[in-house]
Structure 1
Amino acid sequence: MTQEALESLLLAIWPHVAAVFTVLANVLASGHAVLRKRDVRAAVAWVGLVWLVPLVGVVLYLVLGINRIRRRSRALALRQEHAQFPPQSGVPACTPETLTTAVPPAAHLAPLARLVDEVIHHRPLLPGNRLVPLEAGVGAYPAMLEAIDAARTSISLCSYIFDNDEAGGRFVDALGRAVKRGVQVRVLIDALGARYHWPPVTGRLRRAGVRVARFLPTLFFPARLPFMNLRNHRKLLVVDGRVGFTGGMNIREHFLPGHGDAKDLHFRVEGPVVGQLQETFAEDWVFTTKERLKGEAWFPPLEPAGPVFARGIPDGPDEDFETVRWTLLGALACARSTVRIVTPYFIPDPALIMALNVAALRGVRVDVVLPEKLNLPVVQWASTAQLWQVMRPNCRVFLTAPPFDHTKLMVVDGAWSLVGSANWDPRSLRLNFEFNVECYDPELATRLDAVIDERLTRARLLTLEELKGRSLPIRLRDGVARLLSPYL
């Protein structure tokens, strides 16, 4: 066959080959959506997009639609290897039955403890913990740096954002000093969060001798492209396996006094539950680097340190799918008198909205505290578009004046608290890897209620009349933004 004839043949058949490839790709993507999507509306939307916009829809589905990672076998092998639970301290796990006598004000929340037991089989509720709230900047960073400087054996640090700025520099210097003292240091940064500041801090950490890894890098790994929308949003620091820090704070100078003064809340953690913080980091680290962290340097015996009954609640698009969402629904169902929520990003799904409504209709006072001005306008528009659904059955929404408040808190009946990294939005509850801690302790709940009261001193009550008074173009803008809520 001549060259000219071959070219003619290729020109004749390539449209047919492209058509077959397109149909095959559409069929495979549609089949995956039909079989894997829990929400019928999501499955219908993705199938429609795949067929209405051939190939482009398939690419979008690969990038944004696949939201599960299978890593159960690796995580279970890790748990068996270091055998952290039941805890080495010998402190018995708390059952829902013993909770009723151990924490009488939380006795009516025993069904919530039972629910979380069922949702998270491998992390029991543990007594003997202490959690100290630390405000951003003046409280959290100094306490974290002091703990790093006191480290003797190991430091594990996980952050979604770790900027190469003044705040990041302080942590790099402290971690570098720890390495020089012979401390084992491991730092895990989300691959997307590492690019919030240029140049990224990873190079600076390596020059300081710190072993650092990026979670799910996709830029140079095409095989991981389907997971580029799944980010590690956890904030964990564990020193010597005994002292932990967790909450909502990234490492960036926005939280330093005089650099924007953004507000947030972090927690210093001691007691047996620190082992659950460390276990979560170890699972993420072995998933990312294949290195297993084991031995007393990372998992020492942990003794009781306080009165709080606590449990770590990991969440993510893997075996821990939607654990925080189940916990929120359970807490709303068990609440009797008050539910107080502070979050920067508030786009609850229909089930959570209904749970908030039902709680309010049962006579529970439901208060939601949000920033008046978000750092992400589209998210604020989408949130505002559905606030009327939350407020109509007597839920109250308060808007706090600037500076931007990144705090994430939930307190129920002055006895149960939930703290950590998760927001009330689809990204946190379905796509991100998150870590929260549930706490049964009236004293801690009282302290956190005081934090919320402080927020309310600079907040105003939002009314339905104000929402209805927005102009038509503004309401349309917000309504269109709400259509993007599954990806915000």
Structure 2
Amino acid sequence: MQYKFYTTSEKAWDAMLEAIKDAKKFIFLEMYIFIDNTEGYNFFEILEKKAKEGVRVKIIIDSFGSQELNKEVIEKIRKAGAELLFFSYWLSRAHKKILIIDGNIAFLGGVNIHKSFQKWNDLQVRFTGVMVKSVIRSFAKSYEMCGGKDVEVLIYNNKKNIFRKTKLWFLEHQQLGKKKLLKKHYQNRIKNAKEKIIIVTPYFIPRRWLIGVLHQAILRGVRAEIILPLYTDHWIFNRVNYFYISKFHRIGINFYLQREMNHAKAMIIDNAEGMVGSQNIDPLSFDHNLEAGIFFRDKKMVDDLGKIISDWKQNCVIFEPSMYKKIWFDYFLAPAMRIFQSVF
């Protein structure tokens, strides 16, 4: 298996566009936010061109996350021969960020496509090998849920995942099918941690079970670190993040706040296991959304992810209680956000 990490939206976009241009058979793209306003990164134009060349192009986007998408763009790419479907379920969002090329290359992680995210730090991984088949199967499930009828895509949903002794696993989280592997993974890996837990997330609205297993790990002598942006992309998430950071700093979690916006989602356990995916630390990701990630024990891959996170930490400030002063509104906003996400 070959892999490569991309640490900004722009780097990921460059690599994804290059892969799309080289596609010969099919392009499967599943994205939470996919808007045609990324100047210099003409995704829709290139996808339209590939569809006209005869490449099978299938696109799934979330109806809420991609509601800004221009109707004329939708009609144009469909007219070119691409199939574009919207995922629209009241209690769930298609939060995966997946690109599959010709059945042998896959991208996944936290990178959306919108001009507002162009300068963000983020994390996307490109990989080849047998695990790509599991990503295709995940896409096929979403495709069927969206009403897709192409048998050449649906056939992948009927194929079993290949389980073999490997250092890389695909993790799919699907509330509608009661398949919550990412939640189970966080619980199990944190419970088994011996020395150190590192979590990277842009938003921090933790469920009680997560705080419980983190607290138990700290009581065992495990160091817990969580890396978040100093300021997110919205003032509401800033207030909510700091409310919970302040609250759980008291139980021994070490919070690092990065000066630049970081949308990455990752975890490292004991410098021996790593994970990269689409999930935030919030009720929507763990209880409702369709999410996807990869878990790995390959030493070089874990070391590479650790180096990325270490570089990010160099641009962080360590949270101190004096950095945040609660206001009366926070006592309403933070619990309300957690309740809203839980019943959304």
| TM-score past 0.5 threshold | yes
Q: How many angstroms apart in 1 are the aligned matches of 2:73 and 2:235?
A: 27
1:342 aligns with 2:200: yes
Please give the secondary structure, in 2, of the residue aligned with 1:152: coil
* Per-residue deviation, residues 390-426 of structure 1 (Å, max 9, x unmatched): 2223220011113x11111111111111111000000
Percent identical residues? 26
Match of 2:294 in 1: 437
Contact 2:266/2:277 (<8 A) preserved: yes
1:475 aligns with 2:333: no
Q: How many angstroms apart in 2 are the aligned matches of 1:375 and 1:353?
A: 24
Match of 1:234 in 2: 96
Match of 2:45 in 1: 173
Note the C-alpha offset of 1:308: 6.4
Tell me which protein shows more strand as a share of its residues.
Answer: 2
Note the C-alpha offset of 1:378: 2.1
1:135 aligns with 2:7: yes
1:449 is aligned, of 306, 311, 316, to: 306
1:383 aligns with 2:228: no
**AA in 2 matched with 1:251:** I
1:407 is aligned, of 264, 285, 298, to: 264
**AA in 2 matched with 1:246:** L
Contact 2:223/2:253 (<8 A) preserved: yes
**AA in 2 matched with 1:250:** N
**AA in 2 matched with 1:154:** F
The alignment's TM-score, normalised by the length of structure 2, stands at 0.90
Note the C-alpha offset of 1:198: 4.6
Contact 2:36/2:43 (<8 A) preserved: no
1:362 aligns with 2:212: no
1:486 aligns with 2:339: yes
Cα 1:228–1:295 shift into 2, 3 Å = closer
1:249 is aligned, of 93, 106, 111, to: 111
Note the C-alpha offset of 1:452: 0.8
Q: How many angstroms apart in 1 are the aligned matches of 2:276 and 2:4?
A: 11
Q: How many angstroms apart in 1 are the aligned matches of 2:253 and 2:127?
A: 32
Unmatched tracts of structure 2, length 5 or more: none
Please give the secondary structure, in 1, of the residue aligned with 2:111: coil
Match of 2:280 in 1: 423
Note the C-alpha offset of 1:338: 1.2
Q: Runs ≥4 in structure 1, deviation > 6 angstroms?
A: 295-299
Please give the secondary structure, in 2, of the residue aligned with 1:417: strand
Match of 1:163 in 2: 35
Q: How many angstroms apart in 1 are the aligned matches of 2:238 and 2:11?
A: 28
Match of 1:185 in 2: 57
Alignment of 1:144-163 (within 5 A): 144-163=16-35
Contact 1:361/1:393 (<8 A) preserved: no
Cα 1:201–1:360 shift into 2, 3 Å = farther
* Per-residue deviation, residues 275-321 of structure 1 (Å, max 9, x unmatched): 1110000011012124254489979x9xx9xx962222111222244
Please give the secondary structure, in 1, of the residue aligned with 2:33: coil
Match of 1:97 in 2: none
Match of 1:27 in 2: none
Contact 2:4/2:126 (<8 A) preserved: yes
Q: How many angstroms apart in 1 are the aligned matches of 2:312 and 2:61?
A: 30
Q: CA RMSD in A?
A: 2.5
Note the C-alpha offset of 1:465: 4.3
Q: How many angstroms apart in 1 are the aligned matches of 2:181 and 2:140?
A: 19
Q: How many angstroms apart in 2 are the aligned matches of 1:401 and 1:199?
A: 37
Please give the secondary structure, in 2, of the residue aligned with 1:132: strand
Match of 1:270 in 2: 128
Q: How many angstroms apart in 1 are the aligned matches of 2:262 and 2:61?
A: 23
Tell me which protein shows more helix as a share of its residues.
Answer: 1
Match of 2:77 in 1: 205
Q: How many angstroms apart in 2 are the aligned matches of 1:247 and 1:387?
A: 24
Cα 1:268–1:139 shift into 2, 3 Å = same
Match of 1:283 in 2: 141
The alignment's TM-score, normalised by the length of structure 1, stands at 0.64
Note the C-alpha offset of 1:182: 1.4
Please give the secondary structure, in 2, of the residue aligned with 1:264: strand
User: Number of residue pairs matched?
Assistant: 335
Match of 1:5 in 2: none
* Per-residue deviation, residues 176-221 of structure 1 (Å, max 9, x unmatched): 22112211110011111221355574234224432111111xxxxx
1:195 aligns with 2:67: yes
Cα 1:297–1:243 shift into 2, 3 Å = farther
Q: Decide which moves more: 383-392 or 243-252.
A: 383-392
Q: How many angstroms apart in 2 are the aligned matches of 1:295 and 1:316?
A: 19
Bigger Cα Rg? 1
Cα 1:323–1:184 shift into 2, 3 Å = same
Please give the secondary structure, in 1, of the residue aligned with 2:175: coil
Please give the secondary structure, in 1, of the residue aligned with 2:2: strand
Cα 1:466–1:138 shift into 2, 3 Å = closer
**AA in 2 matched with 1:268:** R
Cα 1:379–1:293 shift into 2, 3 Å = farther
Please give the secondary structure, in 2, of the residue aligned with 1:139: helix
**AA in 2 matched with 1:280:** S
Cα 1:168–1:434 shift into 2, 3 Å = farther
Contact 1:163/1:201 (<8 A) preserved: no
Contact 1:379/1:481 (<8 A) preserved: no
Q: How many angstroms apart in 2 are the aligned matches of 1:330 and 1:426?
A: 18
